Structure 1
Amino acid sequence: MDLALLRTFVTVHRAGSFTRAAALLGLSQPAVTSQIRTLERQLGRPLFLRQARGVTPTSIGDELAHKAAPHLDALVEIAGTGPDDSAVRTLHLAGPPEFTAERALPALTELSGDDGQGFALRASFGNAEEVLEGLAAGHHDLAISTARPRGALLTATPLCDEEHVLVAAPQWDERIDVGRLCRKGASALENLPVVEVHESLPLVSRYWASVFDSRPAASGTVIVPDLRAVLACAVSGAGLAVLPRYLCAAALERGDIVALHEPTVPPLRTYVLVARTGTLATPHIARAHEWLLGAAAAWY
């Protein structure tokens, strides 16, 4: 079986589209379509179901991808390494901006310069869907996500749990009836301004559902697409916010903000560390994977 055909097939499988695969491979879409049809004729089975938006693999396509992808990735790694095994490799990491910047990158930059055996590091940010799609398509080596991937092409390992805290500037704490908050729950927080990362209030909604068994009544007063900006707005007094404890711990300690509520069981969000199946046999990816898991043991 022609390895070039398999490479095209795996790229299409990961990209979910002939068009995106063609761009990744530097080929025309007709060339990609022709190669997939040739492979399907050789196997005597359809590998993809053509749809209006992209393609969906058949069960035969999924099985072939699961078997072939790790070996193709290993061949690419061998070809990329060349005769000089001491060459510095590049690790491509993707994840949510705040967690990646505050947690993962400081840990990995320490490793990347360790004993001259490190690697060059490239990072990109995105939401869970974006980073997993990019990993599957081969744009990244490792991804940090709050969503577990489906299928066998990606392998996820639990990384750490993130505790969420309901916070606001001290002046808001003085205006909230703590006793009523304990008795009435979320109703004590109605009509208070809210700072969030999205109009759908993802963190506030999760906190309300977990702690108060209800939905937030208010809409977002300030919407900024970065939790670090949410923290800055909360410190300035813009309203209440739900933030990861690691991100706001220093501000809490300084008294810039206060925790409005301390539930017995705080809401948690779990991060997973994801790699393409088979690529953890690659030394620099394996080292980064192991290092991040070790570093995460000390994160709270």
Structure 2
Amino acid sequence: MTAQVRALEEELGQQLFVRRARGVTPTSAADELATRIAPHVDALTSLTFGEADPFAAPVHLAGPAELTTLRVLPALSGLVAAGLRLRVTFGLAEDLLTGLSQRRFDLVVSTIRPRGRSLVANPLTDEEFVLVGPRGFTGDPRSAPLVAYAEDLPIIRRYWRSVLGVRPPSGPAVVVPDLRGVLASVLAGFGVSVLPRYLCAAELASGALVALLEPEEPPINTLFVVTRAEPSRAGPAAVREALLADAARW
């Protein structure tokens, strides 16, 4: 702050504060400057913090591409109709939570619960994972080609260990960094994969996909809606409440 004041005084060519033993006292030049800039500061405050219109500023929301597309965005249709301006970013949970802490986003739908007290996470929904193959598949899924989200088989590896009790074979046949692409690849007959049930429910119901196993306790993953611990603007708060309310039917 001292450096900023000194730089401003040098730019103006005037002393703005007199340093005293118990602080500083503004000079007449500072009083005159404050009078001139006050309307502009008030206007800026109204633009960024004013709550007369809760949707005056866009709400920056981030989350995984698949759930955000199929569940989160439809849940916000009423708010958008009421004037909400929304900006959406897709990405991995760790990167998005970092962006939330750095104020790039107002809230994040996260596949992991953040640590620490600076972020607040509320459980949003549980996604159930199901092992699927294309219509007519009758082979052993443990030896079938794998269609994966990433080379290290993050979802498949968890399913194999928790349900089958073994590690999956290394080297997926196809890697698509979007679960919707994984779904399309399985439908095309490329192999088998593990998907969230919500993502492939229609294909399972129609028979285009088949569930290869139905364990009594299928693996699940809890998703959270995460905000900063500080008080939220009305817009992000409205988005958070809308998601929590709508998630009951997911």
Fold match (TM-score > 0.5): yes
Q: 1:149 aligns to what?
A: 114
| Greater shift in the superposed pair: 210-219 or 230-239 | 210-219
Does the CA contact (< 8 Å) of 1:146 and 1:272 recur in 2?
Answer: yes
Q: d(CA) in 1 for partners of 2:181 and 2:115?
A: 32
Equivalent of residue 227 in structure 1, options 151, 161, 179:
179
TM superposition shift of 1:257? 0.7
Q: 1:284 aligns to what?
A: 235
Query: Percent of aligned pairs with the same residue?
Result: 45
Equivalent of residue 84 in structure 2, options 90, 95, 119:
119
The size of the alignment, in residue pairs, is 211
* TM, length-normalised to structure 1: 0.66
Matching residue's letter, 2:134: A
Which SS does the other structure have where 1:247 is aligned?
helix
Q: 2:127 aligns to what?
A: 162
Which SS does the other structure have where 2:136 is aligned?
helix
Does the CA contact (< 8 Å) of 2:133 and 2:211 recur in 1?
Answer: yes
Matching residue's letter, 1:175: G
Does the CA contact (< 8 Å) of 1:194 and 1:218 recur in 2?
Answer: no
Equivalent of residue 205 in structure 1, options 144, 150, 157:
157
Deviation by residue 1:135-180 (Cα, 9 ceiling, x = unmatched): 11101001011111121111111111000000001232x234xxxx
Q: d(CA) in 2 for partners of 1:83 and 1:293?
A: 22
TM superposition shift of 1:217? 2.0
Distance 1:234 1:154, change over 3 A: same
Deviation by residue 1:109-146 (Cα, 9 ceiling, x = unmatched): 33221xx3x41001000001111011111010010111
Q: d(CA) in 1 for partners of 2:149 and 2:222?
A: 18
Which SS does the other structure have where 1:130 is aligned?
helix
Q: 1:97 aligns to what?
A: 65
The aligned runs of 1:27-46 (5 Å cut-off) are none
Structure 2 unaligned blocks of 5 or more: 5-43
The aligned runs of 1:62-81 (5 Å cut-off) are 80-81=48-49
Please identify which structure carries the higher strand content: 2
Structure 1 unaligned blocks of 5 or more: 6-75, 177-188
Does the CA contact (< 8 Å) of 2:55 and 2:85 recur in 1?
Answer: no
Distance 1:87 1:128, change over 3 A: closer
Distance 1:77 1:292, change over 3 A: farther
Distance 1:83 1:149, change over 3 A: closer
The aligned runs of 1:163-178 (5 Å cut-off) are 163-172=128-137, 174-176=138-140
Which SS does the other structure have where 1:237 is aligned?
coil
1:273 aligns with 2:225: yes
Q: 1:130 aligns to what?
A: 95
Distance 1:78 1:279, change over 3 A: farther
- Please identify the structure whose Cα radius of gyration is greater: 2
Report the aligned-residue RMSD. Answer: 2.2
Higher relative contact order (CA 8 A, sep 6+): 2
Distance 1:3 1:227, change over 3 A: farther
Which SS does the other structure have where 2:249 is aligned?
coil
* TM, length-normalised to structure 2: 0.78
Q: 1:297 aligns to what?
A: 248
Does the CA contact (< 8 Å) of 1:148 and 1:272 recur in 2?
Answer: yes
Please identify which structure carries the higher helix content: 1
Q: 1:185 aligns to what?
A: none
Does the CA contact (< 8 Å) of 1:190 and 1:218 recur in 2?
Answer: no
Moved segments of 4+, more than 4 Å: 2-5, 76-79
